[in-house]
C-alpha cells in the first residue's frame, strides 16, 4: 500500500500541475508570437512592396535564357554567277556542361572511394580528381552517342579542360560532323531533356574544293556576337560560334560578307528545358553576296594543268580591258573543305609542310628571265637603242670582261628585234641593254609599276619586288654597280625580281598599249575599259614588238609554238592569234641552281582581251625547267577554255543581284 | 521532476523516431515502393477501364432495335470493305515477297503487332500519355512504337506487368525524325510534341525544316516518319505542317504541326514490337 500511496501522491501532483488554469506566464509568449508575426508581416511587406522589381528580375533571370546565333555569311560567286563559296548546315552533338556539376561531383567522390578501396597511396589531388571526373562523365555521354550511331569517338581531355575554363556556359561539342542518318537516330534516341543534344550550325561550303583556295581564303570561329535589338543582357546567354574571315577574300571583305547576328529569348522549365515558342526573336540576317571576277572554268583548267606539272607554280589570267582577274591560281594549295568549320592541327601542319599556304601569285617574287625581254624591247625602242629595222650579231656569247653565254653558246647570227624575241636571243639583249644602261631599264620597269604591289583586293600582297639600279645596289648591298649587273638585268636575271601578278598586269598593259593595269577581283558588269598613259611606241615599233611576240607562238623557232601548233595531245588553238614570251630564269639556292619557267601572253593579237602570266618553280637542281615546255601547256589550257567559252552560243543574260 | 519533463517530450520523441526511421529506410525499400506503385494501382486502373467498357455496353443496350439493325448494316458494309482490303493486302504481300525474292532483298518483317486497349488517358499541360492494358505479360518493350489508324500514337515509355505507359507524340518529351512526304532527298526534320493544353487540339513543333519547304494552312505538308531513327518504320503519318517560318539560326525553318485530333480519344492502339530486340 505504501508504494501505491507514494505513486498516487506523485501522480496527483502531476495532475494538479497539468490541469492548472490560466498561467500568466503565457502572456510572455503572446508577445513573442506577436513579434514574430509582425516580423513576418513586415518581411512580407518589404519583399512584396520594396523588392518587387528585384524579384521580378530574379524570376526572369531564372526562367528565361537568351540564345545568340550568328547570321549566315554571304555567298561568293564567280563572274558567271556560279557558286564558289556558300553555306551549308552542319549537325553536331553538344553537351551542356553546367548542368553536369552534380554528376561530376558524385563521380569525383566515387573515384576517390575507388582509390581508397584499392588502398592506393597515390590518390590524385582534388584538382586532378575533378579533371578525371569531368572526362569520365563527358565520356559517358559520348559513349551513349557512340552506341546510338556506331562510332568510337573519345573525349579530348585538353579541349574539355579548355572549354571548362573558358566557355562553361556554352555547350561542349562532342561530335560536329553528323551524317543525316546519324542526326536522325540521335533525334529519336537521345532523351529530350538530356544534356547531350543535337544542334545545327552554318559552315562554309566549297563546291569546287581546293579551287581558288588562296584567293577565296578561309574563315575561323569567333565568339564576338552582339545583337542590338535583343534585350536581356542580364539573362544567361548562350552564344553560338560565329565566323570571321581569316584569309583571302573572306578576310578582305569580311565586313561585307559577315551576317548580322540574331537571337531569341526562351522560357525554360525548372529543369532548364526550353519551352517553345520563343518570347522574343530577332532573326539573323545573311551577309551580302559577292561576285568575283574569277571565271571558275578557266580557274579549274589552269589548276588542273598546273597540278599536272607536279611542281609549285602560279597562273594568272586577266581581262585586258577591265583588269578583272579571271584566273588566280597557285599550286600547291589546300582543300578548303578541310579548313571548315575549323582547321585541324594535322591539316595545318600538312599544308605548311607542302608550302600550300604560300600564295605564289601575289606573294612570290621571281627573276622574270627572258619574259623581261618584252620590257627590254619597249625600253630599247623608246630610247632609240633598238629600232625595228636594226640588227645585232650573236656569236653565241657577249664579252664584257668575261663572256656571257647565249643559249648554251648557240650562235644565232645576225638578228633583228622580231627574230630576237622569237628566238629569245640573250646576246641581242645583252648588247642593247648594256647600251641603254641600268637606269633607263629600271625607269621603264618602274613606269610599268613592276617595282610596286598591284593593290589587288587581297591583304598580303608582297612588297619584295626589286627593280635594281646602281643607286639601289649602293644603298642596299653597299656595293658598286658593275657592267655585268646591267648585262644580267637585260635578260631578267641578276637582282631583278617581280611578282607573277605584276607580270600579268604588265602583259595586260602591253596588250592595251598602256603602262598600267589595275587588277581587281571584283566583277562589275559593264565595267569601263581602263585608260592610262600610252606606252609611247610608234606604230612600226609596236608592230615589231607584237610581231616578235606572235612569232614566239607561230615561228619555227618560237619557244611557245605549242600554243599554235599543238603537241603531245594538245590541239592547236586554231583561229586565235597569240602574242607570247617564254622565259627560264635561274636562281642559286643551297640545293643548287633552280630554274623558273615563265610565260606571258595576250590574245587575240588583233583585239587583245585576255592576258596571261605563268610562273613554275623547278624543284630539281640542274633540271631544265623551260617556260616553253612547262608553262605553255598551262597557257594552252586557259586559252583553249577561254576560246571554247567565247565560241559558245550566247545564253540567257545573267541576272546580277543588285545588293 | 526531470522524469516528468521527459514524459512530456515523448510525443516529440516519437515523431523524431518516425522521421528518423523514414529517412533511414533502406533505399531498396523506397525503390520497391516506387516500382510497385504501378503494379498496385494497375488492377484498379484495369478494373475502371473494364467498368467503362461495361457502361458502354449497357448504354448500347439501351439503343432501339432499329438503331442496332442500322449499325449492324453499317458494320457489315465496313466489314465487306475491310474484307476487300484484306484480300488486296494479301495480294500485295505476295507481290512484295515475289519482288523481294527476285531482287534477293531481305524480308521486311521487323515487327510483331500487339493490339492493346487504352485503359487510361493522362493529359496535362506538361505531359500527354496513355496507359494500355498490356505490359510485360505480352512482351512489350520500352521504346516500342505505338500506332493507330491515324498514324503514330507515340512510344512506350514504361512497361509494367500488365500495363504500359505510352508517351503520345503530343507530349513535349517525345521527339522523332520525320521527313516531308514525297521529299526526294529525304531530309530529316526534327519533330517534337508541343505544350498542349488538356482539351486543345494536339500540336507539335518541327525544326530543321529545309528552307525550300513551304507550308501554310492552305497548303500543308504531311510529315511522316523517316525510318532513319531506328525506332519507327518509315512512312507513318505524324501530322501536317501548317506553318513553317525562318528559324532563329537562319539556316532552317521552324514551325507548327497539326496532329490527328483522334489522339485524344484513341481507344485501341497497336504496339510494334521489334522482332530483334536490342538492335537499334
Of A72, A180, A187, the CB nearest to B250: A72
How close A363 comes to chain B (CA, Å)? 37
Answer whether residue A77 is part of any domain.
Answer: yes
Nearest-Cα residue of chain A relative to residue B196: A276
Strands B221-225 and B175-180: antiparallel
Residue A198 has what pLDDT? 87
Answer whether residue A490 is part of any domain.
Answer: yes
Q: Which among A394, A424, A383 has a CA at the least distance from the CA of A541?
A: A383
Nearest-Cα residue of chain A relative to residue B254: A277
**More confident of the two residues A392 and A166:** A392
Across residues A376-389, what is the average pLDDT? 94
Same domain as A283, residue A219:
yes
* Displacement of CA A29 from its chain's centroid (Å): 80
Helix axes A500-512, A373-383, angle to 10 degrees: 40
Q: Which residues of A touch B177 (CB under 8 A)?
A: 183-185, 187-188
* Contacting residues for A486 by C-beta, under 8 A, at least 6 apart: A433, A434, A437, A438, A441
Same domain as A529, residue A386:
yes
Of B175, B177, B208, the CB nearest to A192: B175
Q: Which among A613, A653, A8, A542 has a CA at the least distance from the CA of A314?
A: A613
Q: Which residues of A touch B251 (CB under 8 A)?
A: 72, 87, 89, 200-202
Answer whether residue B118 is part of any domain.
Answer: no
Q: How confident is the model at residue A456 (pLDDT cuts 50, 70, 90)?
A: very high
Across residues B212-236, what is the average pLDDT? 87
Lowest average pLDDT, out of A130-134, A337-341, A353-357, goes to A337-341
Decide if pLDDT at A366 tops 60: yes
Q: Provide DSSP, A213-272.
A: HHHH--EEEE-----TT---TTSEEEE--EEEE-SHHHHHTHHHHPPBPEEEEEEE-TT-
Alpha-carbon distance A515 to A518, whole Å?
10
pLDDT digits (tens, 9 = 90+) for A434-445: 999 999 999 999
Residue B279 has what pLDDT? 46
Of B229, B246, B251, the CB nearest to A184: B229
Domain count, chain A: 3
Lowest average pLDDT, out of A147-156, A225-234, A594-603, B74-83, goes to A225-234
* Contacting residues for B196 by C-beta, under 8 A, at least 6 apart: B123, B125, B128, B170, B202, B203
- Given an 8 Å threshold on Cβ–Cβ distance, is A286 in contact with B250? yes
Decide if pLDDT at A4 tops 50: no
Residue-averaged pLDDT of chain A: 87
Answer whether residue A622 is part of any domain.
Answer: yes
Q: How confident is the model at residue A651 (pLDDT cuts 50, 70, 90)?
A: low
Same domain as A86, residue A107:
no
The parent domain of residue A236 ranges over 59-90+196-292
What are residue A578's DSSP bridge partners?
A: none
Residue A144 has what pLDDT? 92
Nearest-Cα residue of chain B relative to residue A194: B173
Lowest average pLDDT, out of A295-304, B83-92, B248-257, goes to B248-257
Decide if pLDDT at B109 tops 70: no
Q: How many CB pairs under 8 A join A and B?
A: 91
Question: For B231, how many CA atoms within 13 A lie in the half-sphere containing its CB?
Answer: 29
Answer whether residue B56 is part of any domain.
Answer: yes
Domain count, chain B: 2
Alpha-carbon distance A22 to B89, whole Å?
90
Read off the DSSP letter of residue A527: P
pLDDT digits (tens, 9 = 90+) for A592-618: 788 889 999 999 999 999 999 999 988
Q: How confident is the model at residue B107 (pLDDT cuts 50, 70, 90)?
A: low
The parent domain of residue B212 ranges over 175-265
Residue A656 has what pLDDT? 46
Torsion of CA A403, A406, A408, A411, to 10 degrees: -100
Nearest-Cα residue of chain B relative to residue A199: B208
Answer whether residue B3 is part of any domain.
Answer: no
Answer whether residue A457 is part of any domain.
Answer: yes
Decide if pLDDT at B94 tops 80: yes
Alpha-carbon distance A581 to A573, whole Å?
17
- Given an 8 Å threshold on Cβ–Cβ distance, is A276 in contact with B195? yes
Q: Where are the alpha helices (DSSP H) in A78-176?
A: 101-117, 126-149, 157-166
Q: Which residues of B touch A9 (CB under 8 A)?
A: none
Cell numbers linked to B12: 516529440
Answer whether residue B278 is part of any domain.
Answer: no
- Given an 8 Å threshold on Cβ–Cβ distance, is A184 in contact with B280? no
pTM of the model: 0.70
Same domain as A640, residue A513:
yes
Q: Provide DSSP, chain B.
A: -HHHHHHHTHHHHHHHHHHHHHHHS-HHHHHHHHHHHHHHHHHHHHHHHHHHHHHHHHHHHTS-HHHHHHHHHHHHHHHHHHHHHHHHHHHHHHHHHHHHHHHTPPP---EEEEEEEEEEEEE-SS-EEEEES--GGGTPPTT-EEEETTEEEEEEEEE-SS-EEEEETTSTT-EEEEEETT-TT---EEEEE----TTSPPEEEEEEE-TT----SSS-EEEEE-S-SSSSPTT-EEEEEEEEEE-TTSSSEEEEEEPPGGGGG--EEEEEEESSTT--
Answer whether residue A191 is part of any domain.
Answer: no
CATH number where B245 lies: 2.40.10.350
Answer whether residue B261 is part of any domain.
Answer: yes
Residue A403 has what pLDDT? 84
Same domain as A514, residue A418:
yes
Same domain as A82, residue A156:
no
Lowest average pLDDT, out of A115-119, A154-158, A463-467, A491-495, goes to A115-119
Same domain as A534, residue A395:
yes
Residue B5 has what pLDDT? 64
Residue-averaged pLDDT of chain B: 85
How close A66 comes to chain B (CA, Å)? 12
How large is the greatest C-alpha to C-alpha distance in chain B, in angstroms?
100
Answer whether residue B147 is part of any domain.
Answer: no
Answer whether residue A366 is part of any domain.
Answer: yes
Lowest average pLDDT, out of A160-169, A196-205, B11-20, B42-51, goes to A160-169
Percent of chain B with pLDDT over 70: 91
CATH number where A208 lies: 3.90.1310.10
Alpha-carbon distance A610 to A510, whole Å?
11
Q: Which residues of B touch A263 (CB under 8 A)?
A: 248
For residue A331, give the 3-state DSSP assignment. Answer: strand
Same domain as A521, residue A483:
yes
Chain B contact for A20 (CB, 8 A cutoff): no
Amino acid at each position: 500500500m505504501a508504494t501505491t500511496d507514494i505513486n498516487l501522491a506523485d501522480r496527483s501532483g502531476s495532475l494538479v500541475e497539468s490541469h492548472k488554469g490560466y498561467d500568466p506566464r503565457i502572456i510572455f509568449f503572446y508577445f513573442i508570437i506577436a513579434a514574430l508575426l509582425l516580423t513576418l508581416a513586415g518581411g512580407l511587406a518589404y519583399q512584396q512592396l520594396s523588392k518587387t522589381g528585384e524579384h521580378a528580375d530574379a524570376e526572369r533571370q531564372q526562367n528565361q535564357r537568351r540564345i545568340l546565333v550568328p547570321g549566315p555569311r554571304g555567298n561568293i560567286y564567280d563572274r558567271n554567277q556560279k557558286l564558289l563559296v556558300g553555306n551549308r548546315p552542319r549537325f553536331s552533338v553538344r553537351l551542356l556542361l553546367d548542368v553536369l556539376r552534380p554528376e561530376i561531383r558524385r563521380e569525383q567522390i566515387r573515384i576517390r572511394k575507388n582509390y581508397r578501396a584499392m588502398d592506393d597511396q597515390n590518390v590524385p589531388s582534388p584538382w586532378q580528381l575533378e579533371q578525371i571526373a569531368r572526362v569520365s562523365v563527358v565520356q559517358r555521354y559520348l559513349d551513349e552517342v557512340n552506341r546510338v550511331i556506331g562510332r568510337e569517338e573519345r573525349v579530348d581531355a585538353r579541349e574539355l579542360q579548355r572549354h571548362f575554363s573558358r566557355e562553361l556556359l556554352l555547350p561542349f561539342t562532342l561530335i560536329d560532323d553528323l551524317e543525316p542518318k546519324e542526326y536522325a537516330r540521335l533525334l529519336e534516341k537521345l532523351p529530350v531533356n538530356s544534356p547531350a543534344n543535337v544542334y545545327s550550325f552554318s559552315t562554309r561550303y566549297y563546291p569546287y574544293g581546293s579551287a581558288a583556295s588562296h584567293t577565296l581564303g578561309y574563315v575561323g570561329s569567333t565568339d564576338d556576337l552582339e545583337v542590338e535589338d535583343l534585350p536581356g543582357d542580364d539573362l544567361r546567354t548562350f552564344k553560338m560560334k560565329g565566323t570571321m574571315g581569316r584569309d583571302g577574300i573572306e578576310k578582305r571583305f569580311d565586313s561585307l560578307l559577315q551576317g548580322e547576328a540574331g537571337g531569341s529569348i526562351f522560357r525554360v522549365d525548372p529543369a532548364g528545358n526550353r519551352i517553345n515558342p520563343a518570347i522574343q526573336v530577332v532573326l539573323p540576317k545573311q551577309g551580302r553576296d559577292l561576285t568575283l571576277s574569277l571565271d571558275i572554268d578557266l580557274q579549274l583548267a589552269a589548276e588542273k594543268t598546273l597540278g599536272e606539272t607536279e611542281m609549285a607554280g602560279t597562273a594568272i589570267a586577266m581581262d585586258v580591258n577591265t583588269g578583272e582577274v579571271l584566273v588566280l591560281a597557285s599550286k600547291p594549295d589546300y582543300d578548303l573543305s578541310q579548313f571548315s568549320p575549323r582547321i585541324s592541327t594535322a591539316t595545318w601542319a600538312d599544308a605548311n609542310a607542302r608550302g600550300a599556304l604560300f600564295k605564289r601569285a601575289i606573294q612570290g617574287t621571281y627573276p622574270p628571265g627572258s619574259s623581261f625581254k618584252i620590257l627590254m624591247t619597249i625600253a630599247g625602242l623608246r630610247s632609240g637603242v633598238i629600232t625595228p629595222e636594226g640588227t645585232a650579231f650573236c656569236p653565241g656569247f657577249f664579252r664584257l670582261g668575261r663572256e656571257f653565254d647565249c643559249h648554251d653558246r648557240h650562235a644565232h647570227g645576225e638578228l633583228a628585234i622580231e627574230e630576237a624575241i622569237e628566238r629569245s636571243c640573250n646576246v641581242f639583249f645583252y648588247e642593247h641593254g648594256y647600251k641603254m644602261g641600268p637606269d633607263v631599264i629600271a625607269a621603264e620597269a618602274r613606269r610599268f609599276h613592276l617595282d610596286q604591289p598591284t593593290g589587288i583586293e587581297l591583304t598580303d600582297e608582297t612588297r619584295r619586288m626589286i627593280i635594281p639600279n646602281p643607286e639601289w645596289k649602293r644603298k642596299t648591298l653597299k656595293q658598286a654597280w658593275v657592267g655585268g649587273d646591267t648585262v644580267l638585268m637585260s635578260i631578267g636575271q641578276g637582282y631583278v625580281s617581280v611578282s607573277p601578278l605584276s607580270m600579268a598586269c604588265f602583259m595586260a598593259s602591253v596588250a592595251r598599249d598602256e603602262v598600267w593595269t589595275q587588277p581587281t577581283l571584283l566583277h562589275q558588269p559593264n565595267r569601263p575599259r581602263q585608260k592610262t598613259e600610252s606606252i609611247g611606241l610608234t606604230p612600226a615599233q609596236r608592230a615589231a614588238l607584237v610581231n616578235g611576240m606572235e612569232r614566239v607562238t607561230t615561228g619555227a623557232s618560237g619557244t611557245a609554238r605549242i600554243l599554235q601548233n599543238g603537241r603531245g595531245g594538245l590541239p592547236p588553238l586554231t583561229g586565235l592569234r597569240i602574242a607570247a614570251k617564254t622565259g627560264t630564269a635561274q636562281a642559286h639556292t643551297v640545293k643548287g641552281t633552280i630554274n623558273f619557267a615563265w610565260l606571258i601572253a595576250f590574245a587575240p593579237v588583233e583585239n587583245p582581251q585576255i592576258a596571261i602570266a605563268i610562273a613554275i618553280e623547278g624543284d630539281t637542281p640542274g633540271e631544265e625547267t623551260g617556260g616553253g615546255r612547262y608553262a605553255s601547256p598551262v597557257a594552252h589550257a586557259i586559252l583553249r577554255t577561254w576560246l571554247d567559252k567565247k565560241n559558245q552560243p550566247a545564253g540567257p543574260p545573267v541576272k546580277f543581284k543588285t545588293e | 521532476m526531470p522524469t516528468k519533463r521527459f514524459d512530456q517530450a515523448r510525443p516529440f520523441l516519437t515523431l523524431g523516431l518516425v522521421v528518423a526511421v523514414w529517412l533511414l529506410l533502406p533505399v531498396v525499400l523506397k525503390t520497391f515502393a516506387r516500382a510497385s506503385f504501378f503494379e498496385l494501382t494497375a488492377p484498379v486502373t484495369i478494373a475502371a477501364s473494364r467498368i467503362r467498357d461495361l457502361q458502354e455496353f449497357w448504354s448500347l443496350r439501351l439503343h432501339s432495335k432499329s438503331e442496332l439493325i442500322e449499325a449492324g448494316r453499317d458494320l457489315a458494309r465496313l466489314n465487306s470493305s475491310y474484307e476487300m482490303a484484306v484480300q488486296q493486302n494479301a495480294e500485295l504481300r505476295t507481290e512484295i515477297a515475289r519482288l523481294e525474292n527476285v531482287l534477293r532483298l531481305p524480308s521486311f518483317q521487323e515487327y510483331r503487332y500487339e493490339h492493346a486497349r487504352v485503359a487510361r488517358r493522362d493529359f496535362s499541360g506538361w505531359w500527354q500519355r496513355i496507359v494500355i492494358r498490356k505490359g510485360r505479360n505480352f512482351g512489350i518493350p520500352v521504346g516500342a512504337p505505338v500506332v493507330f489508324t491515324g498514324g503514330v500514337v507515340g512510344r512506350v515509355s514504361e512497361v509494367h506487368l500488365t500495363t504500359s505507359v505510352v508517351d503520345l507524340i503530343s507530349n513535349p518529351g517525345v521527339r522523332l525524325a520525320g521527313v516531308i512526304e514525297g521529299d526526294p532527298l529525304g531530309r530529316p526534320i526534327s519533330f517534337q510534341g508541343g505544350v498542349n493544353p488538356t482539351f486543345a487540339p494536339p500540336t507539335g513543333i518541327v525544326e530543321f525544316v529545309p528552307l525550300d519547304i513551304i507550308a501554310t494552312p492552305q497548303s500543308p505538308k504531311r510529315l511522316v516518319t523517316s525510318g532513319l531513327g531506328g525506332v519507327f518504320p518509315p512512312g507513318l503519318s505524324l501530322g501536317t505542317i501548317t506553318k513553317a517560318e525562318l528559324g532563329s539560326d537562319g539556316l532552317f525553318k521552324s514551325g507548327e504541326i497539326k496532329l490527328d485530333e483522334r489522339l485524344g480519344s484513341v481507344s485501341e492502339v497497336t504496339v510494334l514490337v521489334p522482332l530483334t530486340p536490342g538492335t537499334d
